[in-house]
Amino acid sequence: MNTQSPTVIYSETFRPWFLPLTFFLPCFWNYGVLIEKDDENEATLTFGYGIFGPTTGALCSHTTPLRDIDKSSVVTGYSSGKDNLFQFGGWGIRRSFRNSIWAYNASFRGPFCEFDERRGGRSITYRIATENPDSVASLLRGESSGIVEQEAKKFA
């Protein structure tokens, strides 16, 4: 009886190039903007990407207390795909080439809300994509809390 094992003539193993995407793609699955109050009536803004939308402390989301937002800096606007491409170099989480604005561009083109965050003696400008820029801007300025109840009723 011959118990000799076969001789390997050729063997090859490798990981596919898209393997890292299996980890990173779910991080960008949903984009959202979330404004909420905690038990001490402290309001926070969370925006960005996540598996189920933005969450505090998530890898691709940013959270800031509303008290750190310069209320006079809050503006709304509309950017075209060309604007996003030439100003930020594309879509997703980007930093402007010219004026150091951090942009969370979730779509090719669309409305946005822009504001300055004061943290540690410096100011950082953020531009966030939102479907309701006037409502978000109003809440960031502290002008209306009634909008929250109206929006909540839509989803109840």
Which pTM does this prediction carry? 0.74
Q: What are 79-117's pLDDT values in tens digits?
A: 998 888 888 888 888 888 788 888 888 788 889 999 999
Annotated domain spans of the chain: 23-155
Q: What are 109-149's pLDDT values in tens digits?
A: 889 999 999 988 889 999 999 989 999 999 999 886 555 55
Contact 78, 110 (CB under 8 A): yes
Backbone torsions φ then ψ of 14, nearest 5 degrees: -160, 160
What pLDDT score was predicted for residue 155? 47
**70's tokens:** 């310069």
Contact 44, 66 (CB under 8 A): yes
Considering only residues 3 and 44, tell me which one the structure prediction assigns the higher pLDDT. Answer: 44
DSSP result, the chain: ---PPPPP--------TTTTHHHHGGGGSEEEEEEEE-TT--EEEEEEEESSS--TT-TTEEEEEGGGEEEEEEEEEEE-HHHHHHHHSSSEEEE-TTT-EEEEE-SSSEEEEEEEEEETTEEEEEEEE-S-HHHHHHHHHT--SHHHHHHHHHH-
Q: What are 38-80's pLDDT values in tens digits?
A: 888 888 898 888 877 777 666 788 899 999 999 999 999 999 9
CA separation for the pair 7, 41 (Å, rounded): 72
